[in-house]
Structure 1
């Protein structure tokens, strides 16, 4: 008797959980992630997970547990998903036991791993650590291609940009002349992720002439918390100088030691970008 069989017997009263009221998988998600996953796709009797539009079935032989209220969560890990993550399939057994199927991809294609609440994991035993391989070769090839494309895009997003060509703060931070000047201006503040990476919401860069000097003006904020954590800066590319004004949790402070006239300009820019005219 396998460990999966023990799980099925323990959950026997829940095995016919209905999918009524389930969100269900969208057609595009079903096309990418639906179908049969197995420990060994070559063996018909291998333990398997069948992903359908409204439900997911965990099977061994003629034994079955049905997971209803199935839905997909592409943002399951928020802004920083593991590199191989594709989607989380979420469901419940009889509305009482949470089940999560994480679909990932590696060089061989897609695979699914099971997770869930304490009852689910205790009864799955070793199968809770298993990889169920997708048995659709076309979907596997597409998953590998998608992951490779995503990694290439990520590498491109980290690649340096030619000085003076940045159009957005997320590009400016990759300017090899700007970045060291900016880090010097920030000092210890550079260890604050959203400041050091300039990866939050932001308008495009613009140019402004102040006191006979041409500055690049940047405004950006912390992802999901722009109201209380935001910044503006002036970058003098010719001299390699950065002056900025930062709000963190309602507290204002300058960085880069802006002289009085520039600090006044920074305050005006900040009020326009983040202060709602204050």
Structure 2
């Protein structure tokens, strides 16, 4: 008896060839199946290779080796599975269930070779999959692979563009301003030890459009942003005086507010007001 047969003979591996599905229908649309459906294998040149089938007809995903089959159903496509922190090349996650109670995820990704699937799931699923749970199932469709390669090139180009320097005075958003060569060193000095916090040093979380505020007789740019997925507990407001090269700010983190940049009294009072307005609805 093979290792695969021993694994699949009991428990979670209970759906065999010829048996009709017994639970929910798929939530995948025709557009998702067109982009991500088809045959994936550890070795597309080998007909006997372990494979993953994303089937348009049955609207399910199969993990197969020989005549043995695991069936995942109740599928949903999750394009925002990783939120704003998706790994490079991520395309979509196909979320399903085995036997209606064991969670399984098919992560569809792209790289320089094309499109592939990796499997994740609950402990029962991964234990039964064994080594297959660590495999990359490559798409066996050349057209799909070419499209994934093109998408990856576009993603890489967008990443380069997002890291490019921004001309001073042209930033419209916090993530732009941090790429302003005049602003960045002034801001880092004002942060001091807080510069070790990635969400603060990169300013890459959610924020609002930059706008002008008149404070104590001077014109400042108001910069408000927060930590991705944790805005309520980690957020900041800054006042940036570009002509004078000054940054004052109030950072809320760990349940307390920290002042940065040594603002004078009137500016400090305004920072408190602006912070309440931006992050506590004016309370």
Length-normalised TM-score, structure 1: 0.89
Q: Give the equivalent residue in structure 1 for 2:14.
A: 13
1:75 aligns with 2:80: yes
- Residue 192 (1) aligns with residue 197 (2): yes
Q: How far is the alpha carbon of 1:93 from its aligned partner? A: 1.9
Q: Residue 9 of structure 2: SS of its match in structure 1?
A: helix
CA distance in 2, matches of 1:19, 1:153: 44
List per-residue Cα deviations over 1:190-222 (Å, max 9, x = no partner): 222222222222221112344453322212222
Q: C-alpha separation between the residues in 1 aligned to 2:23 and 2:238?
A: 54
Distance in 1 (alpha carbons) for counterparts of 2:81 and 2:22: 22
Could you tell which deviates more after superposition, 248-257 or 26-35? 248-257
Structure 2 unmatched runs, 5+: none
In the alignment, is residue 145 of structure 1 matched against residue 158 of structure 2? no
Rounded Cα–Cα distance in structure 2 between residues aligned with 1:274 and 1:135: 50
Residue ranges of structure 1 left out of the alignment (5+ in a row): none
Does the 8 Å contact 1:19/1:69 carry over to 2? no
**Alignment equivalent of 1:31, drawn from 22, 30, 34:** 34
TM-score (norm 2): 0.87
How many residue pairs are counted as aligned between the two chains?
278
Secondary structure of residue in 2 paired with 1:13: coil
Q: How does 1:1-278 map to 2 (within 5 A)?
A: 3-10=3-10, 13-15=14-16, 16=19, 18=21, 20-53=23-56, 54-278=59-283
CA deviation map 1:197-255 (0-9, x unaligned): 22222221112344453322212222333333322111111121101122235423321
Q: Secondary structure at the match of 1:234?
A: strand
- Residue 105 of structure 1 aligns to a residue whose secondary structure is strand
- Alpha-carbon spacing, 1:276–1:9, altered in 2? closer, same or farther (3 Å): closer
